[in-house]
Amino acid sequence: MPKRDDIKSILIIGAGPIVIGQACEFDYSGTQACKALKEEGYRIILLNSNPATIMTDPGLADATYVEPITAEAVKIILEKENPDAILPTMGGQTALNTALALAKDGTLEDFRVELIGANLDAIEKAEDRLLFREAMDRIGLESPLSHLVSNEEEGVQAVKDIGLPAILRPSFTLAGTGGGIAYNIDEFNEILRNALRLSPVGTVLIEESVLGWKEFEMEVVRDKNDNCIIVCSIENVDPMGIHTGDSVTVAPALTLTDKEYQRMRTASIEVLREIGVDTGGSNVQFAVNPNTGRLVVIEMNPRVSRSSALASKATGFPIAKIAAKLAVGYTLDELENDITKETPASFEPTIDYVVTKMPRFTFEKFAGADATLTTSMKSVGEAMAIGRTFLESLQKALNSMETGLTGFDEITLSDRIELNPDKNAILAKLSEPVPERLLRVAQALRIGITVDEIYGACSIDRWFLRQVQVAIEIEKTVVENGIPENKEELFQLKCNGFSDARLAKLSNKSENEISELRSRLGVAPVFKRIDTCAAEFSANTPYMYSCYEGDGLNHAECEADPTDKNKVIILGGGPNRIGQGIEFDYCCVHAAYALSEVGFETIMVNCNPETVSTDYDTSDRLYFEPLTAESVISLIKTEEKLGKVVGVIVQLGGQTPLKLSQALKEAGINILGTSPKAIDLAEDREQFKKLLDDLNLKQPQNGTVNSFEEAKIIAEEIGYPVVIRPSYVLGGRAMEIVYEEAALNKYMEKAVLATGDNPILIDKFLSKAIEIDVDCIADNENVYIAGIMEHIEEAGIHSGDSACSLPPQSLSASLLKEVERQSKLLAHGLGVCGLMNIQFAIKDEEIFLLEVNPRASRTVPFVAKATGVPIAKVAARVMAGERLENFKLEKQQLNHVAIKEAVFPFARFPGVDSILGPEMKSTGEVMGIDKDFSLAFAKSQLAAGAKLPTAGTVFISVRDIDKPSIVDLAVDLCYMGFLLVATTGTANSLEKAGLKVEKIKKVLEGRPHVVDNMISGQIDLVINTTEGSQAIKDSFSLRRAAITHNIPYYTTIEGAKAAVKGIQAISMGPLDVSPLQSYLNGSF
Amino acid sequence: MVNSDKKASFLFASRDTEILYRESGVDQDVSLAYPTLLQSFEDYASMSDAKATVPSEKRRVEQPASANAILVLADGTVFWGHGVGLENDIVGEVCFNTSMTGYQEIITDPSYAGQIITFTFPHIGNVGTNLDDLERETAAAAGIILKSDITAPSNYRAAQDFSCWLASTGLTGIAGIDTRNLTRRIRHFGAMNGIISFSSQKFFDVDELTIKAQKHPSLSGMDLASVVSTRELEKWSTGIWKFGSKVNDDGFENTEREDYHIVAIDYGAKRNILRNLAQLGAKVTTVPSNLSANAILNLQPDGIFLSNGPGDPAATAEYAVPIIRDLLNTNTPIFGICLGHQLLSLALGAKTEKMKNGHRGANHPVKQIKTGRIEITSQNHGFVISEQTLPGSATITHRSLFDGSIEGFEIAEKNIFSVQYHPEASPGPTESDYLFRQFLEIIKKARLSDNA
């Protein structure tokens, strides 16, 4: 049966900004869906507020709305574009919830637009805990014992029946936000209250604990004829109790008999049927009692999910693409298996390797965050690794994390245990669900704790534990006997997934010595292909992973089969983390597109399964490998066997590939674009200072130090406050503004411990300065200024965390000209070939250079979207040797304003302060675009989830330095009819200006105080600036209350000013939305 | 039974090394090793998808110090590894199976008689073995080839370690093999014979082993069904396996109803087929593959089932087809699976041929022609019906979506139908079990019209 021709145009809703639980996997799925439906001839309309996505590239959809993902925005789009259908299953929970709201309020019916992929009924049945449970009962599938409650009283009754520990799951929240496990009644009450509030429908499911049971997921695809296939089974190494996004998982399931597996397979298909997912992909989660085999269904997602992205990458089966085609009426047998090209999509992939996914956490960025893993997701990214065996794949995954792990590195369980290895203390450590639990397991095995004892403490299946034990035993032999000097034995080590770096550590050698030994003995990996069918059919898609195969002595088969073309190798960014995420993947993907277009063979290397870069059709060839020197050099050596490796691009994937430059250079591999030397120069304070002096450019006063004594002298010399940070970091890791000597001392103690040899940088902190970001492209002759962005917040807040405006709003033409001049000087001075990002601070019309990064920056996709110039593509081609002048880029004169706003994960980390500083904390960003600043800013706030009020009460409390500047702002608010409440000091200064203000108590001043008012919904907007550690501490609960009660809040005056402008704009009438194409064509 | 004793000798040779080659004198054209080898290499080098490794033409095979087992293919390819199960030399046709679960069921499936199974999934043995996941009381395959060493089991159903079970069932295998490389070889050259030699002495004569593999007869022209068939009439009375609702409540259902009588001709039937038949509420009697039609009809069957089994259908057909033809004349409902399906087609005048690579796995899509529905099926066959030879009276009901080959046919007015794949699963998806119920419906209808 052919595709549907009764629909001509389709609206695809994206997932919005990257947040915990919703990352770039939805760019991957959305991009696949766009491409798949467009090639079928449908008109595609797209909505996504995230400018860093590939799906929002103007060429991908026919009309691309980079607008807030709200029901209101969709309504206007429906009016303007009149699509026939909405595909809501590609944009995570955000898209699903938006579609659900529109279906419920009758909008979809009014516009005669149909939901395809999943209908209202199915979404409700899957998302509503009670309906889901009833559905499961109807098909005879067991669920954990549970009660749905809508108030605290019912909750207490429920827990009496169910017992403790109990799981609490608020209905309709993303990635389990607000849920948790309660072990005692106090905990229960606390979580319940929070969960009731966070659930948009005010209900919470109290559930029997299946903690410690085995956890499995099935990725199911169904077509309209009820044909169902299982794409992949996934087993969680971490048992039930840890969110699957936070669990180490493997594919396929490894500890099931066929009878158990088939029962689960049948059950998951029945679940799809009963829930009524007509077409597309879904994910069904199960728990299995390890002692009895009892199977209970946990939940299902009637849409593509993070797990579908993982399953797609793990098997080569493109779930999102297929799901999109099924949504328009195809059946599975009518679609081709892209990988084999000779079999249909209606089969179940079978694999001949093992895939391990490992989550990446960033608790270190959030002081006070509880690192205990629960049913609410906390990881910010993940890496996937592929090996021929579980151990190979697991150790590759550990190497892919980029947390410095080289394998099962030794850790300290606790100082007390080191001194006195008390078994109970060790077992207690093992029972804590924390990110490093596998390392703890390894450490416990080293100490001599048995597998059974460990199992008793952590419930990780013995099969996995025994595999770790194998690794630890091999490690022991290496420690005792050293590295074997014969080929066969060294090969055996490598077969088990030990990295050169790990072997070096175990044998007290350098990594180079190990890799030299390997190459001397001829122990090298081979590459195998991911082909969906375990080699049953031939596969033409070069999607590869490395492994050590064969018997170690005789020739082993390698399927890399390099071509004779000119190749460019693009190194991706690895697992997402704060500071390095989708923006860098965007750049890598664009480089692949651009260089393919001009005839290079593009070869992508990455280990992040969520990304577009690891889609098998993004580049010509894909190596799914850890971004370590060992892996990258091995694959390049293989590629060099035929054709010509023109070079490697290390500048686009963030800090990860940059770190490999030295090793690549030493291996004689050409690096494209700006030389690593120039990159180093920008990081080397002394050399850089000299360059600036030569160019006659100004920097804030600064110095480089290695000890507290040195730091003290420098700080006194340049004067407090100072910005202090280690060199060679991304995302402002460990960067702080220090106001006095005591804080400096504290910082240095920590820093010297953490960074060892790397020096510490100290800069004069320019208070109340305007910060700007410049992105430019340079070849050795010309420089193109791609975008100048003015930060909304003053200097001192990490550029990734501050909102910014393109074009700048408050800078004079002459100043901008000077900024351009300086940027060009720098580009030439450094010898930049490719992208460069510069941060300047402007204080009293004077320009200070803060930082230069001769590589892709986080703002590249934003600039590209705001200006319509594909700068990443241009940069890639320049790096590969083209002249900038070939592109005929002209200076942009924009008739619109684009605002980038950051999005933060604070809601996931109770106990963490949301105050911003020089260390980056945001997970993602949105873009607001409109004809003027106010409208664009209002949109950016809306898109970031802050609903600006147009009436109500504003709470103001600002530090002394801000008191003069608050007045104008308060006047504007009064004028718009807002009531003002303020703490005494602020109230006094406002009253002096003749404003009517109600005084309110600070939290420290007794009750009822401002937080009470916030909780009871009497405050609609918060403006709160503060400085000094005590004041910050005192106002902590205020900011937390704003987050948990979703009250828009601003912690800088400039941010507040922008917000007020935004409020003015939306007070004038509803926001309009327009496609990106209309701005870029100048038709606006 | 035709020649069964003679040909049987190598089948279970794994349990008796002495007779390994004594009786394997089936006339075969044993072509010289090296010419074949060279030609093969050219083929291999011109493969479309990725250039495969071509072993050096001189057979320079270095033996790893740790290798205590070797796999030698008839084309001279050598793989070193570690032996599993019993120390022994075993020969057979090397095939591959792509299932990721159900190794115990696969190894005990009698259709694998004479074959060495390469498991494409690297970890085999994780869940141990138990007494319920057997398709026959003991291993049927000649040997197994694994990627990873066998681990201790982890599953609540496990009763025994897989390694121990292998030894106790007398099976020999080899682990540590690049099974993907091996699978790709088989895919390109077709199924070929191979020999596994497992010896703790670590002494292997590669040339001698190659010749043994080459001299070993091909499965073409070989009747193996009579070897594995039951020797007497047996009643089968357990139903299918179910998970219990309580702890320790898992197990096979007892089927007490005997509303109908199904006679299953045993060419090497998997137990799960018999369980599915019993589950229908029928009395099931298994009979030897060479039991005469008269003897079968004397049992007064309401339906006749033709089972799966090993070997070349054309060879088994020599004695099986006359019996089936006699049965066809009685209009008794007949249902065939796998070899049974092929024999039924042969009885109708069709021909079968050997496939370059068999279908072996649990992920094979089959389309039901009438409804357009797709079934994901479990498959295990190396021969297939030649489509143009199937008589016009037969309607093709199912086709493989992998290669378009015939997966099922029926002659509705004669109450007969059969499928190439395995609706009894075990291992594999269970979604095709409707075919058993379909058989019951046909039986019911036939009985009604008999009575009328």
The span from the CA of A598 to the CA of A592, in Å, is: 10
pLDDT for the residue numbered B35: 30
Beta-carbon separation of B49 and A538 below 8 A = yes
Cβ(A559)–Cβ(A495) below 8 Å: no
Count Cβ atoms below 10 Å from residue A259 Cβ, excluding itself: 25
The span from the CA of A715 to the CA of A701, in Å, is: 10
pLDDT for the residue numbered B414: 94
Residue in chain A lying closest to B180 (CA): A535
pLDDT for the residue numbered B20: 30
Of B152, B179, B187, the CB nearest to A466: B152
Per-residue confidence at B423, pLDDT binned at 50, 70, 90?
Answer: very high
How high does pLDDT run on average in chain B? 87
How high does pLDDT run on average in chain A? 93
Per-residue confidence at A738, pLDDT binned at 50, 70, 90?
Answer: confident
Mean pLDDT of A34-50: 97
Active site residue B137: no
Which residues, listed in sequence order, are joined to residue A957 by a DSSP beta bridge?
A1024
Which residues, listed in sequence order, are joined to residue A1024 by a DSSP beta bridge?
A957
Cβ(B263)–Cβ(B305) below 8 Å: yes
Beta-carbon separation of A346 and B357 below 8 A = no
Please name each of the domains of chain B with its CATH number.
Answer: 44-215 (3.50.30.20), 225-241+251-451 (3.40.50.880)
Q: Record the tokens describing residue A734, joined without a space.
A: 């460990």
The span from the CA of A427 to the CA of A410, in Å, is: 17
Write the single-letter amino acid at A746.
K
Mean pLDDT of A940-958: 95
List of chain B residues whose C-beta atoms are within 8 Å of the C-beta of residue A553: 62-64, 80
Per-residue confidence at A729, pLDDT binned at 50, 70, 90?
Answer: low
Cβ(A867)–Cβ(A891) below 8 Å: no
Strand order across the A114-115 sheet: A63-65, A43-47, A9-13, A85-87, A114-115
Mean pLDDT of A1001-1014: 91
Residue A536: phi, psi to the nearest 5? -65, -35
Residue B50 reports pLDDT greater than 70: no
Instruction: Tell me whether B199 touches chain A (CB under 8 Å).
Output: no
pLDDT in tens, B379-414: 999 999 999 999 999 999 999 999 999 999 999 999
Q: Are strands A146-149 and A897-903 parallel, antiparallel or unpaired?
A: unpaired
Residue A169: phi, psi to the nearest 5? -130, 110
Of B50, B147, B376, the CB nearest to A348: B376
Cβ(A613)–Cβ(A585) below 8 Å: yes
pLDDT in tens, B224-237: 999 999 999 999 98
Cβ(A492)–Cβ(A392) below 8 Å: no
Cβ(A816)–Cβ(A785) below 8 Å: no
pLDDT in tens, A588-617: 999 999 999 999 999 999 999 999 999 999
Per-residue confidence at A171, pLDDT binned at 50, 70, 90?
Answer: confident
Active site residue B341: no
**Mean pLDDT highest for which of A291-295, A723-727, B426-430?**
B426-430
pLDDT for the residue numbered A548: 98
Q: Record the tokens describing residue A507, joined without a space.
A: 């044998």
pLDDT for the residue numbered A393: 98
Mean pLDDT of A1046-1065: 93
Residue in chain B lying closest to A214 (CA): B155
Per-residue confidence at A1082, pLDDT binned at 50, 70, 90?
Answer: low
Instruction: Tell me whether A537 touches chain B (CB under 8 Å).
Output: yes
Q: Record the tokens describing residue A278, joined without a space.
A: 């007509």
> Of A576, A562, A566, which is closest to residue A606 (Cα–Cα)?
A576
Instruction: Tell me whether A538 touches chain B (CB under 8 Å).
Output: yes
Q: Record the tokens describing residue B273, joined without a space.
A: 């087929």
Mean pLDDT of A615-644: 97
Per-residue confidence at B4, pLDDT binned at 50, 70, 90?
Answer: very low
Active site residue B424: yes
Residues 6+ apart with CB under 8 A from A855: A651, A652, A654, A658, A674, A679, A834, A835, A836, A837
List of chain A residues whose C-beta atoms are within 8 Å of the C-beta of residue B120: 350, 352, 534-536
Question: CA A549 from chain center: how many Å?
Answer: 34
Given B338, B359, B364, B375, which residue is catalytic?
B338
The span from the CA of A974 to the CA of B126, in Å, is: 71
Beta-carbon separation of B250 and A348 below 8 A = no
List of chain A residues whose C-beta atoms are within 8 Å of the C-beta of residue B247: 291-292, 294
Residue B48 reports pLDDT greater than 70: no
Mean pLDDT of A523-532: 97
Per-residue confidence at B28, pLDDT binned at 50, 70, 90?
Answer: very low
Instruction: Tell me whether A522 touches chain B (CB under 8 Å).
Output: no
**Which ipTM value was assigned to this complex?**
0.93
pLDDT for the residue numbered A463: 98
List of chain B residues whose C-beta atoms are within 8 Å of the C-beta of residue A546: none
Instruction: Tell me whether B329 touches chain A (CB under 8 Å).
Output: no
Per-residue confidence at A802, pLDDT binned at 50, 70, 90?
Answer: very high
State the burial class of residue B4 (Cβ atoms within 10 Å of its Cβ: 0-12, 13-18, 19+): middle
Mean pLDDT of A901-918: 90
pLDDT for the residue numbered B31: 32
pLDDT for the residue numbered B18: 30
Cβ(B333)–Cβ(B305) below 8 Å: no
pLDDT for the residue numbered A1021: 97
> Of A454, A440, A446, which is closest to residue A471 (Cα–Cα)?
A446
The span from the CA of A500 to the CA of A510, in Å, is: 9
Beta-carbon separation of A254 and B126 below 8 A = yes
pLDDT for the residue numbered A602: 98
Mean pLDDT of B434-451: 93
pLDDT in tens, B279-297: 999 999 999 999 999 999 9
If you ran DSSP here, which 8-state letter would residue A336 be given?
A: B
User: What SS3 state is found at B150?
Assistant: coil
Residue with the larger pLDDT of the pair B244 and A306: A306
Residue B234: phi, psi to the nearest 5? -135, 145
Instruction: Tell me whether B180 touches chain A (CB under 8 Å).
Output: yes
Instruction: Tell me whether B242 touches chain A (CB under 8 Å).
Output: no
Beta-carbon separation of B429 and A529 below 8 A = no
Residues 6+ apart with CB under 8 A from A297: A136, A141, A142, A143, A267, A271, A284, A285, A286
% pLDDT > 90, chain A = 79
List of chain A residues whose C-beta atoms are within 8 Å of the C-beta of residue B61: 554
> Of A220, A623, A252, A228, which is closest to residue B98 (Cα–Cα)?
A252
B283 min Cα distance to partner chain A (Å)? 25
Mean pLDDT of B437-447: 96
Per-residue confidence at B60, pLDDT binned at 50, 70, 90?
Answer: low
If you ran DSSP here, which 8-state letter would residue A961 be given?
A: G
Per-residue confidence at A897, pLDDT binned at 50, 70, 90?
Answer: very high
Beta-carbon separation of A226 and B373 below 8 A = yes
Beta-carbon separation of A561 and B51 below 8 A = yes
Q: Record the tokens describing residue B65, joined without a space.
A: 């110090």
pLDDT in tens, A220-269: 999 999 999 999 999 999 999 899 999 999 999 999 999 999 999 999 99
The span from the CA of A909 to the CA of A930, in Å, is: 33
List of chain B residues whose C-beta atoms are within 8 Å of the C-beta of residue A529: 50
Q: Record the tokens describing residue B76, joined without a space.
A: 């001279």
